[in-house]
C-alpha cells in the first residue's frame, strides 16, 4: 500500500545502490579510513564552504545527537532545547543516558526563540544558587523542526548571537536538513548556515540514504579523541565505507539537493490536494512533513487506502496525523491519495 507515513519507508536512492555494487570488491580500511569517506568529507567541506570543517559519519540521528552533545558538553553541563525538540521527547532519554540534562524551554511552532534562550541564560547567571544547577553548555535546535517549520535566517542569527554572547555552541539537528534548505520558505543557504552555527549534522537516513548522518564541526571544535569516544558509545562502524559511499554519492552532482527539491515539490502538491479537499492543517509547514487534523471517522475510512502516521490527539473527535514525502514519492502516489480523499468525501 502507498505510504506517506514517513520519509524512511523506502530504501535508498538508486544511485547509492549502484555505487555500493560498483565499489563492492575494492578493499578498504575499516572504521572510516576508507577512500569513500575521505572523498565524501572533502565534498561536504566544499558544500558547506568551510575548508577546515571536521566531518564525521554516524549511523543514526538519536545516536548523533547523543554523541555530539555528550562529547561537547563538560561533565557539569546541560543542553537547552525546545520542549518539543527531538531530544526532549522522542529519543527515549538518550541524552540523559549519557548523563546530561535537557533544559526544556517553551517553543512556538516547534521553534526556540533567541529571546527565551537569552532570558534563561541571564536568569541563570543572576541566580545565586546556580552552583547547584546544571550549567547550560549548548543550545540544540532542529532545522527543520519536528513540526516541519523553519527558522528564518534572522532567527538563526539571533540564536547564534545569544550563544556567542554566552560562549556556548549552537548545535543544529539536521536530520531533514535537505528538506529545509529546499523549501520555498527557506531564506538561508547551506554555507550561510554553516558559517552561523558551531556544529550541525546533515541527515542522510531521511534524505535518500539507507542510514547515516554527517556531523560537521564548523569551528575546529571536534572533541579530541573523538573516534575513541564514539567507539565507547557503540557508534563506530567497522565498514565505514557503508557511510562514506552513501555521503559521497549524495554529495556528487548535487544529488542531496535534487532529492530534497523533489520531495518539496511533492509536498507542495500534497498541500494543494489537502487544501482542495478542505482538510485543515495543524501547522503551516513549508517542508516535506505535513500535519493535518482529521476527523476520527475520516481517519478510519482512510486507513486501508493509504498509510500515514498518528501524531497526536487533537481533541476527542480529531487527531493530528502526519504525511511525509521523500525522494521516492511519485505523482502516482499523490493520485492514489487524491482518489482516496475523493472517495471518502
Residues 129-148 that bind a copy of itself (CB under 8 A): 129, 131-135
From the CB of 204, what's the least distance to a copy of itself, in Å?
10
Residues pairing with 139 in the sheet: 80, 170
Residues pairing with 310 in the sheet: 321
Single residue of 66, 112, 190, 255 touching a copy of itself by CB under 8 A? 66
User: Which of 105-113, 121-129, 188-196, 276-284 is the region at the interface with a copy of itself (rule: CB under 8 A)?
Assistant: 121-129
CA distance 163 to 157: 10
From the CB of 216, what's the least distance to a copy of itself, in Å?
19
From the CB of 229, what's the least distance to a copy of itself, in Å?
5
User: Which of 37-45, 68-76, 140-148, 183-191 is the region at the interface with a copy of itself (rule: CB under 8 A)?
Assistant: 68-76
User: Which of 100-108, 112-120, 182-190, 295-303 is the region at the interface with a copy of itself (rule: CB under 8 A)?
Assistant: 100-108
Three-state SS at 8: coil
Q: Which residue has cell 578493499?
A: 27
Single residue of 44, 53, 55, 102 touching a copy of itself by CB under 8 A? 102
The strands making up 170-173's β-sheet, listed across from edge to edge, are 54-58, 213-217, 199-203, 170-173, 135-142, 77-82, 102-105
Site for a copy of itself in 150-189 (CB under 8 A): none
Residue closer to a copy of itself, measured from CB, 153 or 166? 166
Site for a copy of itself in 297-326 (CB under 8 A): 307, 309-310, 312-313
The number of angstroms, rounded, from the C-alpha of 196 to the middle of its chain's C-alpha atoms is 17
Single residue of 41, 100, 262, 271 touching a copy of itself by CB under 8 A? 100
What is each CA distance from 305 to 29, 207, 336, 343, in whole angstroms?
47, 25, 8, 10
Residue closer to a copy of itself, measured from CB, 6 or 249? 6
Three-state SS at 207: coil
- Would you tell me how many other CB atoms lie within 10 Å of the CB of residue 332? 9
Site for a copy of itself in 199-258 (CB under 8 A): 205-206, 210-211, 223-225, 227-229, 231-239, 241-242
Residue closer to a copy of itself, measured from CB, 26 or 339? 26
Single residue of 92, 167, 220, 332 touching a copy of itself by CB under 8 A? 92
DSSP label at 138? Answer: E
Q: Is residue 103 a contact partner of residue 136, using CB atoms and an 8 Å limit?
A: yes
From the CB of 68, what's the least distance to a copy of itself, in Å?
11
From the CB of 252, what's the least distance to a copy of itself, in Å?
18
Three-state SS at 159: helix
Burial of 22 (0-12, 13-18, 19+ CB in 10 A): exposed
Check residue 106 for interaction with a copy of itself (CB under 8 A): no
CA distance 54 to 32: 13
Cell of 146: 519536528
Amino acid at each position: 500500500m502507498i505510504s506517506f507515513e514517513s520519509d524512511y519507508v523506502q530504501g535508498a536512492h538508486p544511485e547509492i545502490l549502484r555505487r555500493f555494487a560498483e565499489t563492492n570488491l575494492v578493499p578498504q580500511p575499516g572504521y572510516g579510513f576508507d577512500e569513500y569517506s575521505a572523498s565524501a568529507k572533502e565534498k561536504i567541506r566544499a558544500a558547506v564552504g568551510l575548508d577546515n570543517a571536521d566531518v564525521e559519519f554516524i549511523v543514526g540521528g538519536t545516536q548523533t545527537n547523543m554523541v555530539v552533545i555528550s562529547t561537547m558538553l563538560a561533565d557539569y553541563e546541560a543542553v537547552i532545547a525546545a520542549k518539543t525538540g527531538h531530544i526532549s521527547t522522542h529519543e527515549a532519554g538518550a541524552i540523559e543516558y549519557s548523563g546530561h540534562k535537557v533544559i526544556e524551554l517553551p517553543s512556538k511552532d516547534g521553534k526556540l526563540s533567541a529571546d527565551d534562550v537569552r532570558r534563561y541564560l541571564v536568569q541563570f547567571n543572576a541566580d545565586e544558587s546556580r552552583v547547584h544547577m546544571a550549567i547550560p553548555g549548548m543550545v540544540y535546535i532542529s532545522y527543520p523542526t519536528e513540526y516541519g517549520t523553519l527558522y528564518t535566517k534572522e532567527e538563526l542569527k539571533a540564536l547564534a548571537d545569544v550563544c556567542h554572547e554566552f560562549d556556548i555552541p549552537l548545535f543544529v539537528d539536521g536530520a531533514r536538513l535537505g528538506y529545509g534548505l529546499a523549501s520555498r520558505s527557506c531564506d538561508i543557504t547551506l554555507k550561510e548556515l554553516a558559517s552561523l552555527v558551531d556544529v550541525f549534522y546533515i541527515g542522510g537516513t531521511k534524505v535518500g540514504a539507507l542510514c547515516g548522518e554527517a556531523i560537521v564541526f564548523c569551528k575546529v571544535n571536534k572533541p579530541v579523541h573523538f573516534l575513541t569516544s564514539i567507539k565507547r558509545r557503540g557508534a563506530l562502524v567497522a565498514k565505514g565505507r557503508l557511510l562514506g559511499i552513501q555521503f559521497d554519492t549524495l554529495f556528487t552532482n548535487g544529488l542531496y539537493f535534487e532529492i530534497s527539491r523533489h520531495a518539496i515539490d511533492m509536498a507542495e502538491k500534497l498541500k494543494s490536494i489537502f487544501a482542495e479537499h478542505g482538510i485543515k492543517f495543524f501547522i503551516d509547514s513549508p517542508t516535506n512533513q505535513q500535519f493535518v487534523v482529521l476527523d476520527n471517522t475520516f481517519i478510519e475510512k482512510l486507513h486501508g487506502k493509504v498509510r500515514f502516521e498518528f501524531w497526536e490527539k487533537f481533541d476527542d473527535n480529531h487527531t493530528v496525523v502526519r504525511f511525509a514525502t521523500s525522494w521516492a514519492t511519485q505523482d502516482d502516489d499523490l493520485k492514489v491519495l487524491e482518489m482516496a480523499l475523493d472517495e471518502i468525501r
